[in-house]
Structure 1
Amino acid sequence: MQIQTVGILSPGDMGQAIASVLNQNGLKTIAALDDRSQRTRQLAAAGNIQDVGSLTELVIESDVVLSVLVPAAATEAARQVAEVIGNVRKQILYVDCNAVAPQKVKRIAQLVESSGVIFVDASIIGPPPRVPGRTRIYASGKQADELQQLQNYGLDIRVIGDEVGQASGLKMSYAALTKGLTAISTELLIAAHRLGLDEQLWNEVSSSQPELAAILTRSIPSMTPKAHRWIGEMEEIAETFQELGLTERIFYGAADVYRLVKDTSLGKETPEECDRDRPLRDIITTLSDEAAPSLLDENG
């Protein structure tokens, strides 16, 4: 299959950046923007993504569809695409790039493949690919090699196996480390602030753990506008670990931290509105002042 047109579900922060890279390197990208928000339409326009209106038209025109959504939307999006495929009888490559548990992506694969579509499990590690060399897309599945065509159009595609679930499993493991650490660090910094010990703690971390201090200075400011998306990702990680016979509680707790952030003024900003140069101390103060009462207290 030769890829000439890529359908994007959906052109949010990550999807739009992926589409922009593909556009800049000669591929046509399209999106179905009927009933989508004004922000999504603006992002699509900025990325030169063509609006084809309906999902049916997107499937008809696409050679490959990249599903880049919040985890909770992954299954329904796949179901809708499978339904359209059943109606129009179009052969496409469907790539699930969502942060979902391996057991869930296997169910999604069965759903999509039942309509005759080629399915690839993929996971995105790194920020939206606006800077070359910082974002990898790992892929797995029997026909994952098909996706490697996008290597010729600016994306770093790495096939890691022929089993659906391997790419998603890698994402779950990696995000458990990076976003799990960000959640734990955010909560402990809020705790230190409420104890009146934030300056003393930060001086100690900067002195004894300078690499960690540098990571937190970078990761927490960029996290706040994405916290609403990371809730579902932490829950998917929890389900992954539970399936493996490990404790899921750590990551349900991380989801609670991101739920707390989501409801603050910083959590309600879009990535475009977020001030990436906002001092970490100011961020922690705002989160501490605006956070809802303790989830532990609410749950008894």
Structure 2
Amino acid sequence: MQIQTVGILSPGDMGQAIASVLNQNGLKTIAALDDRSERTRQLAAAANIQDVGSLTQLVIESDVVLSVLVPAAAAEVAKEVAEVISNVAKQILYVDCNAIAPQKVKRIAQLIESSGATFVDASIIGPPSRVPGRTRIYASGKQTDEFQQLRNYGLDIRVIGDEIGQASGLKMSYAALTKGLTAIGAELLIAAHRLGLDEQLWEEVSSSQPELAAILTRSIPSMTPKAHRWIGEMEEIAETFKEIGLTERIFYGAADVYRLVKDTSLGKETPEECERNRPLSEIITILSDETAPN
């Protein structure tokens, strides 16, 4: 099958960035924007994604559907898509790009394949970016050759195996390091602030762990408007680790950190509203003050 039209579920920060790359390289991208927020509509318009209205119309017009959602929505949306595929009897490739546990993506694969469609497990590592090389899409499954067509349209797709769950497992392992470290860093800096030791701690970290200081300086400010999305991702990591006999408690704790951040003024900002040059010390002060126990 020659891919000509790509359906995006959904054109949020990452979805619209992927669509923008595909559009710039000659592919048509579409989305079902009925009942979607004004922000989502604006992101879609900025990426030149065409609105086809309903999920049914998206399936009818698409050759491949990329599912790029918050983890909690992945299974339910897949179920809805599978029902549409069965109803319209459309041959389509469904690529799950969500940050979900391998055991969950295997269940989704069975659901999609039972509807008559083909399935690829994929994971996105890197920020929403239109710069080549900054964002990688790892893929696994027996239908990855078809998905790899999108390499000709600007996406960095890297096949790592033919088993569903391998790509998702890689994402879980990598995000456990990056986003887990951000959660630990945010919590320990808030703790030091409340203990009146933030300046002393930061001086020591900057001196003895300059690489770590640089990572936290970069990662914590960019985390705050995304914290609401990362709660589910930490929970998926916890379930992944539990499934293979490791403790899940570390990452349920990380989810709790992001849950606290989500309810602050910084957590309620959109990425567009976030002040990119806000000092880390100011961010920690706000997070500390707004999450302090009564």
TM-score range relative to shorter protein: over 0.9
Aligned-pair distance for 1:292?
5.2
Q: 1:49 to 1:292 in 2, by over 3 A?
A: farther
The alignment's TM-score, normalised by the length of structure 2, stands at: 0.99
Distance 2:201 2:292 in 1: 23
**Greater than 6 Å deviation, 4+ residue runs:** none
Which residue matches 2:15? 15
Distance 1:38 1:256 in 2: 29
Partner AA of 1:255 in structure 2: A
Which residue matches 2:108? 108
Distance 2:88 2:28 in 1: 21
Which residue matches 1:246? 246
Find the residue that maps to 1:276 and give its secondary structure. Answer: coil
Find the residue that maps to 1:265 and give its secondary structure. Answer: coil
Structure 1 portions without partners, runs of 5+? 295-300
Find the residue that maps to 1:273 and give its secondary structure. Answer: coil
Aligned-pair distance for 1:129?
2.0
The answer (yes or no) to whether the contact 1:260–1:292 under 8 Å persists in 2 is no
Note the aligned Cα RMSD (angstroms): 0.8
Identity, in percent, stands at: 90
The alignment's TM-score, normalised by the length of structure 1, stands at: 0.97
Which residue matches 1:229? 229
Distance 1:210 1:148 in 2: 39
Which residue matches 1:297? none
Find the residue that maps to 1:26 and give its secondary structure. Answer: coil
Q: List per-residue Cα deviations over 1:125-153 (Å, max 9, x = no partner).
A: 00002222110000000111211111111
2:73 counterpart of 1:73? yes
Aligned-pair distance for 1:184?
0.3
2:108 counterpart of 1:119? no
Matches within 5 A, 1:15-94: 15-94=15-94
Aligned-pair distance for 1:177?
0.2
Structure 2 portions without partners, runs of 5+? none
Distance 1:271 1:293 in 2: 27
Distance 1:256 1:172 in 2: 17
Find the residue that maps to 1:168 and give its secondary structure. Answer: helix
Distance 2:233 2:5 in 1: 29
Which residue matches 1:298? none
